[in-house]
Structure formats: structure tokens, C-alpha cells
Amino acid sequence: MLKAKNVMCGFSLVQIEKIVALALAEDLSSGDVTTDALISSAQQGTGFVIIKEKGILAGIEVAKRVFHRVDSELKVDILLEDGSKVKPGDIAAKIEGNATSILRAERVALNFLQHLSGIASEANRYVEATKGLRVRIMDTRKTTPGLRLLEKYAVRVGGGENHRMNLGDGILIKDNHLALLHSRGLNIKDIVARARQNTSRRLKIEVEVKTPQEALEASEAKADIIMLDNMSLDDMCQAVKMIHGRALIEASGGITLDKVRLVAETGVNFISIGALTHSARALDISLELGSEQTALP
């Protein structure tokens, strides 16, 4: 099992509850007409959350909160913690209580669990692909609106790290900032100086560059971090040599699993990958009602 990450780390219980409440309101705004028409409100049941493929589990506590928000009397036993390496047939949780409540919570609980486990699993693939190299795998702000906190949590569960949580977390001077300021006659040195002058807090200043020459200019301007955006491997190697340790270096843009180790070997400090959150495939997980024997695949 990966080192466990507390689901509360970086955000509050209130924030989780708001996300869960919104998801349930979306699904239950008109009730559950199928369950109401077919299942007695007195019927009891036992549900098992069953893993269908290999991966990293994330979001089990969030799923538990879904069940408890639907029905606080449901008994939810977590059998596998976030960060667990899971395989087909593993049972992550057992839910006992009113069967109609379990059915009403099922889809939303699984949506969170499958999505977050998919992100954790994808992040872990990148971390494993760069194992042994001194580089950190990071996410981006390319997240699902409203789910950023949970998605970035899942990246951490998979062994990755978080880039900025929001626009207030650090200064990142991107291509459009540069274009607007270049049009007014400012060069990279001027732009970094302006950023330092106009920031009341001591924030790290990162500059996005597209060529080794721009990387050199950013390092001479004393940027704290330099982002190499969509550079070729040769250009990355050249930029790393030109920066020569004067700043931390981040590689970003179009980095795939089959390429990530080659990027890491150029000597960059960080690799940021938007696909960890915007393109991760959900992990196959199901909930089955019945006895433990009948629920097992």
C-alpha cells in the first residue's frame, strides 16, 4: 500500500460535504422512482464495493460520506484504505442497512470512487515510470470544475504532487502574460522584476518559456522556476545546461507515459501533466447487493 494520505489534508470536511451534497442533489432531485416502485422501504440489504481491475484506490472516505448523507444509519465498513494497491476481486467496503438507501447512494458513491481511483492509478503509473530519478510528478489546474480539491487529493494518493491549487498560490507568467507585456516593450527581465515589485507576499515566480534562449533569459532574470513548455528533448537538455542550477525547472506540455522517463532524464526537477486529472480513465469498481458469497465475482 502507498503511504496513506488523509482525505482531509488540504481541505475541510465542510468542503467535502458541499461537493457530496451537490452530487446527490444532481442525482436525487426528483427522487429514485425505480427503487420506490419496486423495493419495500423496510427491506434490509448488504452491499459490497468490489474492485474489477488493478489500480490504486482513492476516495473511499468520500464514498462513505455519500452513503451516510443519504442515510446516517447505514453501517459502512471500510476494508481497504486509500492508497491500497487493488486487484480484481478485492472488496473495498461493506455497507449494511436499508436497501433503498444503499441503492440511492450507489451511483454517486461509485462515481467518486471510480473517478478518484482512476486519477490515483494514472498518477502512480507516471511515478513508477520515473522511479529512481530525482524528479517529481505534478498535476495542473486542468481539473473538473468543482472537483479540483478531490482530484488533486487523488494525485497525491497515487504518489504525485500538486502544482498550484488556485491562481493565488504562486505567480506563473504564461505565454499570454508575456505577449501582452512584450507588446508594451517589456522583456522577460522587466516582467519578472515587475512581478516581484507588485507582489506583497513572498511568492515563487515561475516563467513559461518555449525556447532554450528564453529559458536563459528567465534564469538571468532570477525567476524561481522555469517551465519548459512543449520543448523537444534536445531543447530541454540544452535549456537545463543553460540554466545551470540557477532556477528549478519544470517540463510541461504533451508529456505521455511512454515519454515521461526520457523527459525526466534531461535533468528537470518537475514534470507537470494535465492528463492526470483531465484524461484519467475511471477505475472499474462496482457495488453488488447480496451475501458476501453471491457478491464475489
In total, how many domains does the chain have? 2
Contact partners, residue 157, CB within 8 Å, separation at least 6? 2, 5, 56, 57, 58, 82, 83, 116, 120, 123
Same domain? For 142 and 38 the reply is no
Positions marked active-site: 107, 142, 174, 208, 229
8 domain residue, yes or no: no
In angstroms, the CA 203 to CA 245 distance is: 19
pTM equals 0.93
Is residue 288 in some structural domain? yes
- Residue 282 carries which DSSP code? P
5 within a domain of the structure (yes/no): no
pLDDT 10s digit of each residue in the chain, 297 long? Answer: 765 444 445 557 889 999 999 999 999 999 999 999 999 999 999 999 999 999 999 999 999 999 999 999 999 999 999 999 999 999 999 999 999 999 999 999 999 999 999 999 999 999 999 999 999 999 999 999 999 999 999 999 999 999 999 999 999 999 999 999 999 999 999 999 999 999 877 899 999 999 999 999 999 999 999 999 999 999 999 999 999 999 999 999 999 999 999 999 999 999 999 999 999 999 999 999 974 444 444
Asked whether residue 1 is domain-assigned, the answer is no
Indicate whether 140 and 273 sit together in one domain: yes
Pairing of strands 91-98, 75-78: antiparallel
